[in-house]
Amino acid sequence: MKKRIAILPGDGIGPEVCEAATTVLNEIGTMFQHQFEFVYGDLGGIAIDKTGNPLPKETLTICKNSDAVLLGAVGGPKWDTLPGEQRPEKGLLGLRKELGLFANLRPVTIYDALADSSPLKDEVIQGVDLVIVRELTGGLYFGEPRERRGEGKEELAVDTLVYSRKEIERIVRKGFEFAEIRGGTLTSVDKANVLESSRLWREVVDEVAKEYPNISYSHMLVDNAAMQLVRNPRQFDVIVTENMFGDILSDEASMITGSLGMLPSASLSEDGPGLFEPIHGSAPDIAGKGIANPLATLSSVAMMLTYAFSMTEEADVLSAAINDVLEAGHRTADLTSDERAVLSTTEMTNQVIQALTKKAVNS
C-alpha cells in the first residue's frame, strides 16, 4: 500500500528523532511491502529562519495533501525572544488548528524492563496503562483576546480561557469512546471549583455520559489529579481533559514510564490527516549531540500505523520490537545512569531495526 507522509523535523532534536522514524518506516515498508513516500516541510524555528513564518503556506499544503504528518519538535532559545505570534510554537499551534486536530491521545505505557528507570517505586508503576485524551484546539492556547495593554506598573497581559459546549462535547465523546474500546473507565479532569469553563465542562461530561451507560466515570480536580498520578497512577484508565491541563499532566505522567523521551502522541481530526509526534520538545540541552531517545517518536510511528493507516499488525510488530530492545537492556542516556551502557540515537534505532528484522525472519 502506498502512503504519503509529511515529515516536519523542526528544531533541536526534532531532525534526529525524525531520521530514526523514517529509517524504521522504510524497514517496515520493506517487511510488509508498503511504500511510504516522505515529503519534507519546514515548521517552527527552521521555517522562521528560512521564510520568516513558523508555518509557511507550503508546509500546510504538504500536510493537507498527505495521509499523515510526522513531527519532530519545534522551538529553542534562538527564537525565545520573538513576539508570541512569531514564535516557533505558534507554527505548531497554527498547524493543529488548521488541520482541526482537536483530539490528542497520549498513552502512558509501562515497559517492565524500565521499572528501574522511573523515579517512582516499582509497586506504584506496575500495571499502569492509561491514556490522556487532551483537547488540542481550544482553551487558553487559542482564546481571544490575547494581548498586552497599558504601560509601566499598569501594564496587563491577557490570555483567555474559552470553551464552547460543542468543543467540549466532541472531545468528551472521544474520551468515552476510548474508554468503551478499552473496556475501562473515564476520569474527567477539570478545575470546576474555580473556573467557569470547567463548570460547563463538567455539565457536558454528565450529559454525554448518558450515551455511555456502561462506562463508569468520575470527575477529578486537576490539582488532585496531579497528585494522584504520582500516588496511585493505576487508578486511571482514560483521562479526558482540556488543553493546558493535558499538556502539564502528560509531561508529569511520562515519568511513570521513566523518561519524557518515551511518550508518543497522536493528534486526530474529524476526517483529515492525523499528526503524530513525541510529547517532548526540541531538548536544546542535548540537541546536536546524537543522544536523544528516539523511542517516543518510534512509538508515535506505531500510533500512525494504527490510527492513520489501520496497519495494526505492523504497529504491533514495531511496539514489540521496541519492547524487545528494552528487554535486552539497551538504553539511551535518559534511561540509565550507567554510562557504559549508553546508546546513541542511531545505535538505539539500529537496535530497533535489528529487532524488527528478527521478527521478519521468525514470522
Ligand X SMILES: NC(=O)c1ccc[n+]([C@@H]2O[C@H](COP(=O)([O-])OP(=O)(O)OC[C@H]3O[C@@H](n4cnc5c(N)ncnc54)[C@H](O)[C@@H]3O)[C@@H](O)[C@H]2O)c1
Ligand Y SMILES: CC(C)[C@H](C(=O)O)[C@@H](O)C(=O)O
Is the CB of residue 241 less than 8 Å from the CB of residue 222? Answer: yes
For the segment 233-252, give every residue that binds ligand Y (CB under 6 A). 247
Binding mask 271-290 for ligand Y (x = CB under 6 A): --------x-x---------
Is the CB of residue 195 less than 8 Å from the CB of residue 160? Answer: no
Closer to Mg ion at the Cβ: 135 or 247? 247
For the segment 294-313, give every residue that binds ligand X (CB under 6 A). 296
Q: Is 141 a catalytic residue?
A: yes
C-alpha cell at 129: 496503562
Q: Is 223 a catalytic residue?
A: yes
Closer to ligand X at the Cβ: 76 or 233? 76
Min dist CB 231 to Mg ion, Å, is 22
Residue 93 contacts by C-beta under 8 Å, 6 or more apart in sequence?
141, 142
Residue ranges at the known binding site for Mg(2+): 223, 247, 251
C-alpha cell at 138: 481550544
Q: How many residues in the chain?
A: 363
Min dist CB 29 to ligand Y, Å, is 27
Is the CB of residue 42 less than 8 Å from the CB of residue 36? Answer: no
Q: Which of 211, 228, 282, 297 is nearest to 17 (CA)?
A: 297
Binding mask 242-271 for Mg ion (x = CB under 5 A): -----x------------------------
For the segment 41-60, give every residue that binds ligand Y (CB under 6 A). none
Quick check: 161 binds ligand Y (CB under 6 A)? no
Min dist CB 106 to ligand Y, Å, is 8
Single out the segment in contact with ligand Y by CB under 6 A; choices: 88-96, 143-151, 174-182, 252-260: 88-96
Binding mask 311-350 for ligand X (x = CB under 6 A): -----------------------x----------------
Measured over the CA atoms of residue 110, residue 259, residue 136 and residue 72, the dihedral's sign is negative
C-alpha cell at 21: 522514524
Min dist CB 287 to ligand X, Å, is 8
Q: Which of 292, 286, 362, 279 is nearest to 324 (CA)?
A: 362
For the segment 39-98, give every residue that binds ligand X (CB under 6 A). 73-76, 89, 92
Between CA 54 and CA 45 the distance in angstroms is 6
Is the CB of residue 165 less than 8 Å from the CB of residue 276? Answer: no
Which of 112, 122, 206, 223 is catalytic? The answer is 223
Q: Is 334 a catalytic residue?
A: no
Between CA 239 and CA 313 the distance in angstroms is 26
- Residues found near Mg ion in the complex (CB under 5 A): 247
What positions carry a catalytic annotation? Answer: 141, 191, 223, 247, 251
